[in-house]
Amino acid sequence: MSLELLSEHCSFGGSVRFYHHFSIACDAPMRFSLYLPPQAERKRVPVLYYLAGLTCTEETFMVKGGAQRLASELGILLVTPDTSPRGTGIPGESESWDFGIGAGFYLDATRDPWSRHYRMYRYVTEELPALLAQHFPADLRRESITGHSMGGHGALVCAFRNPGRYRSVSAFAPVSAPARCPWGVKAFEGYLGEDREVWKAWDASELVRRGPIPAPILVDQGSKDPFLELQLKPEIFASACREAQQPLEFRMQPGYDHSYYFISTFLADHLRFHAGHLWR
């Protein structure tokens, strides 16, 4: 699988890189970014996947998150994919900000015409790791995953669908019960169809009911998040974790909203949380 390097930038002794390639999983061009820490010059390093939210791209986290300084100290390879395929030619893919382009929801679509290209789950869990193994000094025995909003949903779903794969899981303001919120219902109906039983396979609050996973979970949520009650519904996920005896550290952060000001404030906690498990 070939990659095209779009740009490279020195950062805290390592490098931020942006790549373009043709995705087999999505049958379309895809982009991703990564941060290679300085330790990667000498040895393989653990990987932390960051899944971004609605309307974001592979650039958003690398530009706004401010993760590079600590990732350099901790020796973690950061990688973040785009949030959907782009330019597939599917009618209506750019009509809504919360469906289609920029809104892949990290699932594998089964409904036409989306099923040909919108296979972000397969991309994140299969193709992207294979690219890392082929082209970079990534230690795929040591993987963790995190994300924000739609990406927080994606991180939780990837972890629950692959128990034992990720050393640790975290999320910032995740869409915690997508089958019960407008964003999720719109995405699930469009990508998966109307059978709500099928939706359960892509809803973390339903997946946890199958039983706990060994990975510890950290979730941060801002109390002033404008999407808290209608779209995010963390109380549903927290309740499901309690019932399933799934270890969860849930932190309500007073006064914080849904923005990258919130993410950048608590990102160091998340990076250290993951490093503690990745390097163990």
Tell me which of 72, 84, 149, 168 is the catalytic residue: 149
Q: Per the structure block, which two tokens stand in for 280?
A: 């163990």
The verdict on whether omega for the bond into residue 113 sits within 30 degrees of 0, i.e. cis, is yes
Q: Is 15 a catalytic residue?
A: no
Q: Is 2 a catalytic residue?
A: no
Q: Name the phi and psi angles at 210, rounded to 5.
A: -75, -15
Amino acid sitting at position 67: A
CA distances from 130 to 89, 119, 121, 242 (A): 27, 16, 14, 35
Tell me which of 82, 203, 220, 225 is the catalytic residue: 225
CA distances from 44 to 16, 105, 135, 138 (A): 17, 30, 12, 5
Alpha-carbon 40 to chain mean position: 22
Tell me which of 117, 148, 153, 258 is the catalytic residue: 258
Q: Is 205 a catalytic residue?
A: no
| DSSP 8-state assignment for residue 278 | H
What is the signed CA dihedral for 207, 144, 87, 96, rounded to 10 degrees?
A: 50
Active site residues: 149, 225, 258
